[in-house]
């Protein structure tokens, strides 16, 4: 590989050749952030190193000290502006400090900040009714909690109580939380601690991955994996779906007592696992098999919900299924701590066998924020924006993929997108951490914040605030293409 170096003016030297690499022009923004008046950068780093959780993952070689946010933009302590394509880990849905959401929180704080749900207060009831309107079928009862981990934790409990079964199934490469309970449900060794028996009763089955899985596959995306030719599609169902469902069936047959499944958990598109989509028809067939074996089907919409996939409000709708339980968080509150579990009246009734309460779930401020987010999604045409921009970004990324030896796969739908980086396209081996970090850092230095995920940390995740526009996409593609040229 030729040695590359950045020199003054962002020129790039390759051997004896000098290539002009003037930084792509960032789209304009008329927002002026307030002046930063907090502790110095060095003091913040010292406090983080000595007084905060030492397991906190800090992104980038030189971490950002973010100071302000406005819609799709973040500002650091020195006033530099960045296009945020990770949205606080897929959490800022309608935009940083969205005015409608901010004003709703402020107005509620002036009248009633907190009370307990053993009293009646209007906002939780207004919000429950609005949220339920967005869900299909008999999904009519909502439990408000504060995070995705809490939501999945509660869903596990619900399923076990309702079915009387204990065994739960999730997919390898899935992420459903990091609480002691959900850590067992999550199938990423990087998120697990030795010596904890939190996986008892949880079975992880083969991940139906069209790019890295055993049988490849066709997925619901305008861009297909390079291995799509290894399968066929008949009546909207990919042939590899049956093979992966066969793996699920074997797990049930060999590891779980007859009709003894409590629940099957699946993300509509895997988030932390690197944006993996399933072969066409897989999830529908998996749901049918699980229900035939006594289990409930749980859709984890923590990252894919609220219009992000574009064609539907919920990711599971794109699979043609209606789950028994839906868990949701992150974008539900645009960054405010809020989450929910929605289920049927029949399943909900089983939870009345004992007292159940959540101190902050559905509190007045959270409920007011939740209503405002739903309003903003409708008024700002957020879902339509995801639907229109998704194919545009993917087509641009695929063009880069075709030119680059380091981009193995681009995938996703709406604004739930991922780029899998590889050493070479033949082996599909994950790109080594040094080059991965270099690309990540350089994109940030040119003003684009990407997320990172996958078991090996070799997948760039594009999950921005859903208010981004075409100019932002063009800027992103230009930056990514320029940076990649340094590492080929």
pLDDT beyond 90 at 380: yes
**Percentage of the chain modeled with pLDDT above 70:** 96
Q: Does 196 or 57 have the greater pLDDT score? A: 196
Tens-place pLDDT, residues 335-366: 999 999 999 999 999 888 888 889 999 999 99
Q: Topology of 99-379 in CATH?
A: 3.40.640
Q: What is the mean pLDDT of residues 236-256?
A: 97
Tens-place pLDDT, residues 268-297: 999 999 999 999 999 999 999 999 999 999
Which tokens sit at 252?
Answer: 């049930």
State which H helix or E strand residue 459 sits in.
Answer: strand 459-462
Strand (E) positions, 120-218? Answer: 141-145, 167-171, 202-205
Nearest to 274 by CA among 384, 152, 187, 382: 187
* Mean pLDDT taken over the chain: 94
Whether residue 427 contacts residue 438, with contact meaning beta carbons closer than 8 Å, is answered with no
Residue 21's pLDDT is 65
Whether residue 46 contacts residue 35, with contact meaning beta carbons closer than 8 Å, is answered with no
The highest-level CATH class for domain 4-85+382-487 is alpha beta
CA distance 270 to 164: 28
Q: What is the mean pLDDT of residues 215-225?
A: 97
pLDDT beyond 90 at 458: yes
Residue 11's pLDDT is 38
| pLDDT confidence tier of residue 199, bands split at 50, 70 and 90 | confident
CA distance 13 to 304: 41
CA distance 379 to 372: 10
- How far CA 364 is from CA of 116, 191, 407, 487, in Å, comes to 9, 33, 46, 50
Tens-place pLDDT, residues 2-51: 333 333 333 333 332 333 468 999 999 999 999 999 999 999 999 999 99
So where are the chain's domains?
A: 4-85+382-487, 99-379
Q: What is the dihedral of CA 217, 220, 221, 227, to 10 degrees?
A: 0
Residue 5's pLDDT is 33
Residue 7's pLDDT is 30
Residue 196's pLDDT is 85
Tens-place pLDDT, residues 81-110: 999 999 999 999 999 999 999 999 999 999
Nearest to 25 by CA among 487, 477, 486: 477
| pLDDT confidence tier of residue 1, bands split at 50, 70 and 90 | very low
Tens-place pLDDT, residues 388-417: 999 999 999 999 999 999 999 999 999 999
């Amino acid at each position: 590989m030729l040695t590359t170096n950045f020199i003054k003016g962002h020129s790039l030297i390759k051997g004896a050749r000098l290539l002009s690499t003037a930084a792509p022009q960032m789209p304009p923004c008329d927002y002026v952030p307030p002046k930063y008046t907090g502790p110095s950068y060095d003091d913040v780093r010292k406090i983080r190193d000595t007084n905060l959780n030492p397991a906190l993952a800090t992104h980038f070689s030189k971490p950002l000290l973010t100071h302000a946010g406005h819609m799709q933009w973040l500002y650091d302590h020195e006033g530099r502006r960045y296009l945020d394509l990770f949205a606080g880990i897929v959490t800022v849905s309608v935009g940083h400090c969205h005015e409608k959401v901010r004003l709703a929180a402020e107005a509620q704080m002036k009248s009633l900040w907190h009370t307990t749900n053993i009293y009646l207060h209007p906002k939780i009831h207004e919000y429950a009714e609005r949220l339920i309107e967005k869900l299909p079928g008999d999904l009519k009862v909502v439990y408000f909690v504060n995070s995705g981990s809490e939501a999945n934790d509660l869903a596990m409990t619900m399923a076990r109580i309702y079915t009387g079964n204990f065994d739960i199934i999730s997919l390898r490469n899935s992420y459903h939380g990091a609480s002691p309970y959900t850590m067992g449900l999550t199938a990423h060794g990087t998120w697990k601690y030795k010596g904890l028996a939190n996986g008892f009763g949880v079975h992880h089955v083969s991940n139906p991955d069209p790019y890295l899985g055993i049988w490849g596959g066709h997925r619901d995306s305008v861009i297909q994996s390079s291995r799509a030719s290894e399968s066929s599609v008949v009546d909207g169902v990919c042939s590899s779906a049956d093979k992966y469902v066969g793996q699920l069936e074997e797990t049930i047959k060999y590891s779980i007592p007859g009709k003894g499944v409590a629940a099957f958990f699946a993300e509509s598109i895997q988030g932390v696992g690197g944006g993996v989509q399933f072969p066409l028809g897989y999830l529908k067939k998996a749901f049918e098999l699980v229900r035939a074996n006594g289990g409930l089907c749980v859709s984890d919409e923590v990252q894919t919900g609220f219009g992000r996939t574009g064609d539907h409000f919920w990711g599971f709708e794109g699979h043609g299924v209606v789950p028994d339980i839906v868990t949701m968080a992150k974008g539900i509150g645009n960054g405010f701590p809020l989450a929910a579990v929605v289920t049927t009246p029949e399943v909900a009734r089983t939870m009345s066998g004992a007292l159940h309460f959540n101190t902050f779930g559905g509190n007045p401020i959270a409920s007011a924020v939740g209503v405002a987010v739903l309003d903003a999604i409708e008024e700002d045409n957020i879902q339509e924006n995801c639907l229109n921009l998704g194919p545009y970004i993917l087509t641009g990324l695929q063009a880069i993929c075709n030119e680059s030896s380091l981009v193995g796969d681009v995938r996703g739908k709406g604004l739930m997108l991922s780029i899998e980086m590889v050493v070479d396209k033949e082996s599909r081996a994950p790109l080594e951490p040094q080059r991965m970090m270099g690309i990540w850092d350089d994109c940030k230095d040119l003003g684009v914040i990407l997320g990172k995920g996958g078991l090996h940390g070799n997948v760039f995740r594009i999950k921005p605030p859903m208010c981004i526009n075409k100019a932002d996409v063009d800027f992103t593609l230009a930056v990514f293409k320029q940076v990649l040229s340094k590492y080929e």
